[in-house]
Structure 1
Amino acid sequence: MSQAPEFLTDLPTWRAESGAPAPRRVVRADDTLSADSAYRLACEGTGLLWQGDFHNARQLLQALMRRAERKPRKVSKASKTAEAAPSAEASTASLAAASAAQHFHLHRQALGQRARTLAMVLVPLNGDYTIPLRRAPDLRQACTEAWGPATGEACMVSLRELLGLVGAHEWRKKGLEIPALGEAPNNRIHPHYGVFSPVRGEYLDLVASTPLPNKTLAFDIGVGTGVLSALLAKRGVQRIVATDLDPRALTCARENLKRLQRIDKVELVQADLFPEGQAPLIVCNPPWVPARPSSPIEHAVYDEGSRMLRGFLSGLREHLSPQGEGWLILSDLAEHLGLRSREELLGWIAEGGLTVLGRHDVRPRHGKAADTSDPLHAARSQEITSLWRLGSAA
């Protein structure tokens, strides 16, 4: 019989950028622990505080990832027959949307459970961000970039989250080439940890090609990395006021705009949505999916209840100059997932006292759009990204 694990009581401080609570139970783990035993404990919510070789901890995490891969559910013969048989009810748009939304939520639940299991591999960190394990790499710079200067307090963190910091550090170091900003090498955006990376180039092409209503002033709502402000400045907009609530985003945008030599045209303001005053052009690229973020860093992707989208549409008219335009950059993926209808969007536009002046559409070019193995492929294959030109209704 295997010996029952001994739960630890004197533990370092728990640190989780994801906002996840500390594991309720924690045991020591080292190179003698089998992957099967580790997976069983992790599934039970038991944290595995690693005491062995750092590279072996990474190998264990990879083994747990393989075990956590979802197996396709077996479909009964009766279910297959029912799916094949035509049904008037099942052909309605409302049922199709409900099915798509249910599939999306089940998919996110599965991803969440997988993430919670994989987060149970823990590593200790000293108060200066060094890792007291054999063959541990020096990750002090990555930790400092994400968390700020070390406080001197030891802690324990999820190995998976720690490796995420390393990935973010590499993205920040090498940057992302943005063709719409010009020729290399002066066209790179360097995203910071927790700030959404502009990997979807098609929406940038829309902003680069849509005729500007005015070049004197623009508001950039939700500046993020600063890529849209840089693009507007490149197109000749003389002054840009860019807002964001997240201090990380403002720092990231400031560094990118300085590197691109555009900071002289951009004023960065910490604000929820709009700055004071009016502008002839107001640009916003809100999170596209109206679902609840599972961690703080997911707020750039998920907008629960369409809060930012609805806030932008309800406040836009007040901040538009006469004959001004608001540019809303939005994917219709949420519509194909059954999370928001086109009628809802048009209703919010009308409620905001706005009218649609025009719309420019583009198909996504990212890999997932053509990946048939993606669980959300049915929705992604139909996705269109649009730049909605909005003006004040008469």
Structure 2
Amino acid sequence: MNVSQAEKPYVQWQEGQTSRKVLWLSESGYAAPAHIVPVDDQTTADHAYRLACEGNYLLWRGDFQNALQLMQAMNRRIKRTEQRKLSKAARSGKQPAATETATSLFHQQRQAQAQRARTLGRLLLELDAGYICRLRRAPDLSAACEAAFGALDEPCLMSFRDLQGALGAAQWREKGVAITGLDQPIFPHYGVFAPTRHEYVPLMQEAPLPANHDVAFDIGTGTGLLAIILAKRGVGQVVATDSNPRALACAKDNIARTELLEVQLQEVDLFPTGQPLADLIVCNPPWLPAKPSSSLELAVYDPKSRMLRGFLQGVRAHLAPEGEVWLILSDLAEHLQLRTRDQLLAWFAEAKLDVKYRLDTQPKHGRSQDSTDPLHAARSAEVTSLWCLTPA
């Protein structure tokens, strides 16, 4: 995307006797900093944490590795502060009503996560054109940053937290995610949800295909995982859609690795255009009806279940008369009291869809086994289902 110089966000600050102005990059969508304080190796974690809590942005001028250690130290202080708040609430008896416990805990966690992200996101570094970092002991950041954020021909400021996301994504992109039942890994890109939780894959592999399965749609394809599974199972033509250009680039990469010529990609919101009616339409929408704190969370959080409801309301218009809908959905939202099973079934009925069958699986990820997690009861009871729906 070409962005004019006037449209680019810039940040200005005074450093000593010098006025500075460089491009501001924020994947979290934060506005350009209003107040920047240079900090370095002599800055203690307590002082840095206090400055950040006061709303200051901290521009790191010391050793690169020391900055990472400072972030870890600040994170520990954030966790201690959160724990003190919980302990204080417990001593004062300010506990949510029993019927609201799961929901309240969920929202408390979301608020704490957002606050933690904002605080840690205030530690900044300056990069030259091409994402060149001049700090001592800095690694080569160019390839990881360009893959995540695109080419850069001028200096910029960005948060260490966004940089860590780019470096982590580069590792995923290099080693991939092993998927049960597939003969090669899936390689996520930056900004595309990594299928590290893939207990639903066996459901996709075990569900009986419709008698006629010439054409299938994968709505919100992400990495392309479900489209690849359908093509490998023998579906004649698979059309995968996504509204996120990063996701489509990621899916294209993964599909190319498999040499599956049966898969086509379209950048569109929900359903493809110019296609025949599908014999099978699959969708793995965001599972939790809550507001994402950034665009990077759109694959997990779906405000008011907008994507899910939009999919259900529009799917029949794209489905062959004898076709099937496979909806991959966790019931964690139900255990968190964010949505009820009756609501979900009512949405099926409103869309004139009947439940033909349902395949279930239990969670296997680490958080479902962590008894110290305040949401352990909900996570351990979670069931992920493949709902097979047919026209009523």
TM-score, reference length from structure 2: 0.91
Query: What does 1:382-393 align with in structure 2 at a 5 Å threshold?
Result: 382-393=381-392
Q: 5+ unaligned residues in a row in structure 2: which ranges?
A: 1-12
> Deviation at 1:79?
3.3
Aligned to 1:14: 24
* 1:101 maps to 2:103: yes
Aligned to 1:236: 234
**Contact 1:123-1:159 within 8 A present in 2 as well:** yes
CA distance in 1, matches of 2:137, 2:197: 37
Aligned to 2:42: 32
CA distance in 1, matches of 2:330, 2:159: 33
Instruction: Return the letter of the residue paired with 1:223.
Output: T
SS of 2:305 mapped into structure 1: helix
Aligned to 1:86: none
CA distance in 2, matches of 1:339, 1:207: 26
* 1:331 maps to 2:333: no
Query: What does 1:340-351 align with in structure 2 at a 5 Å threshold?
Result: 340-351=339-350
* 1:79 maps to 2:76: no
* 1:204 maps to 2:171: no
> Deviation at 1:369?
0.7
Q: CA RMSD, aligned part only?
A: 1.7
**Contact 2:180-2:201 within 8 A present in 1 as well:** no
**Contact 1:284-1:329 within 8 A present in 2 as well:** yes
CA distance in 2, matches of 1:79, 1:254: 54
**1:214-271 CA-partner distances (Å, limit 9, x unpaired):** 3311100011101111111111111101100111111100110110121x00010111
> Deviation at 1:76?
5.3
Query: What does 1:177-192 align with in structure 2 at a 5 Å threshold?
Result: 177-182=178-183, 187-192=184-189
Query: What does 1:1-394 align with in structure 2 at a 5 Å threshold?
Result: 8=15, 10-69=20-79, 70-71=82-83, 72-74=86-88, 79=93, 96=99, 98-150=100-152, 152-182=153-183, 187-213=184-210, 214-262=212-260, 264-276=261-273, 277-393=276-392
CA distance in 2, matches of 1:319, 1:78: 55
> Deviation at 1:77?
6.3
**1:30-88 CA-partner distances (Å, limit 9, x unpaired):** 111111111100111101101111111111111111111121414556839x99xxxxx
Instruction: Return the letter of the residue paired with 1:303.
Output: D
**Contact 1:221-1:273 within 8 A present in 2 as well:** yes
CA distance in 1, matches of 2:185, 2:22: 39
Mark the CA change 1:266 to 1:77 in structure 2 (over 3 Å): closer, same or farther: closer
SS of 2:71 mapped into structure 1: helix
CA distance in 1, matches of 2:117, 2:92: 33
Aligned to 1:3: none
CA distance in 1, matches of 2:91, 2:313: 50
TM-score, reference length from structure 1: 0.90
> Deviation at 1:375?
2.6
CA distance in 1, matches of 2:48, 2:391: 59
**Contact 1:222-1:286 within 8 A present in 2 as well:** yes
CA distance in 1, matches of 2:291, 2:172: 26
CA distance in 1, matches of 2:27, 2:92: 45
Aligned length: 370
> Deviation at 1:386?
0.4
SS of 1:12 mapped into structure 2: strand
After the TM superposition, which segments of 4 or more aligned residues of structure 1 sit over 3 Å from their partners?
A: 6-9, 74-80
Instruction: Return the letter of the residue paired with 1:367.
Output: G
**1:113-157 CA-partner distances (Å, limit 9, x unpaired):** 11111111110011111012111110100011111122x121111
Instruction: Return the letter of the residue paired with 2:39.
Output: A
Instruction: Return the letter of the residue paired with 1:236.
Output: G
Instruction: Return the letter of the residue paired with 2:371.
Output: T
SS of 1:358 mapped into structure 2: strand
CA distance in 2, matches of 1:73, 1:12: 43
Instruction: Return the letter of the residue paired with 1:254.
Output: K
**Contact 1:24-1:45 within 8 A present in 2 as well:** no
CA distance in 2, matches of 1:76, 1:176: 41
Mark the CA change 1:158 to 1:203 in structure 2 (over 3 Å): closer, same or farther: same
SS of 1:391 mapped into structure 2: strand
SS of 1:102 mapped into structure 2: helix
**1:293-337 CA-partner distances (Å, limit 9, x unpaired):** 100111011111111100110011111101110000000001111
Q: 5+ unaligned residues in a row in structure 1: which ranges?
A: 1-5, 84-89
**Contact 1:7-1:25 within 8 A present in 2 as well:** no
**Contact 1:20-1:295 within 8 A present in 2 as well:** no
CA distance in 2, matches of 1:191, 1:130: 24
Instruction: Return the letter of the residue paired with 1:232.
Output: L
CA distance in 1, matches of 2:45, 2:93: 36
